[in-house]
Amino acid sequence: MSIGAYCRRDVATIDQDQTIHAAAVLMEERSLGCLLVTGGGGRPWGLITDRDLALRTIGGQLDPKQTRVAAVTELSLISIHEHLPVRVASLLMERSGVRRLPVLDAKDELVGIVAWDDLLGLFARELAEVASAAAAQTPRFPIPASRALSEITYQGVDQ
């Protein structure tokens, strides 16, 4: 079960030289929770969420139309390779506290994003299957004692 099979392939990007306002409008219009901020040559450079964009802009008293999106995007970019198992993505989220990870291929090219919500859905489906298998094996109690006993006796005599 590799990350490549579960990541979202349609990633919205914005150039780091665009304004905060442009990023906010893009997120609103296309109902996006995050944008991948690209640097020179379209390479991934940072990831910005709706929350970070709003709170860093308002909290830092920045002018959205005069400030580059790069000013509120964190430089360090944690990413993950698509061939790794899903478990690694949740571990990386646990360690870093981020909910979205850019997914790269073997050539370090961006192929998508794996999000906390998607992983939660995957685990929940697996857990639901385990739960239904466990429920199917639970004996249908209560069985009337007399009936249960007669069945045992019958089997004993038969053998």
Please give the residue ranges that form the binding site for another protein (CB under 8 A): 20-21, 24-25, 27-28, 33, 50-51, 53-55, 57-59, 64-65, 120, 127
Least CB distance from residue 150 to another protein, whole Å? 32
Nearer to another protein, 54 or 77 (CB): 54
Nearer to another protein, 1 or 58 (CB): 58
11: Cβ contacts below 8 Å, ≥ 6 apart: 36, 102, 110, 112, 113
Nearer to another protein, 5 or 134 (CB): 134
| DSSP assignment of 5-61 | GTSB----EEETTSBHHHHHHHHHHTT-SEEEEE-GGG-EEEEEEHHHHHHHHHHTT
Least CB distance from residue 130 to another protein, whole Å? 10
Nearer to another protein, 27 or 113 (CB): 27
Least CB distance from residue 65 to another protein, whole Å? 7
Least CB distance from residue 54 to another protein, whole Å? 4
What does the alpha-carbon distance between residue 34 and residue 74 come to, in Å, rounded to a whole number? 13
Q: 64 in helix, strand or coil?
A: coil
Terminal-to-terminal C-alpha distance of the chain = 49
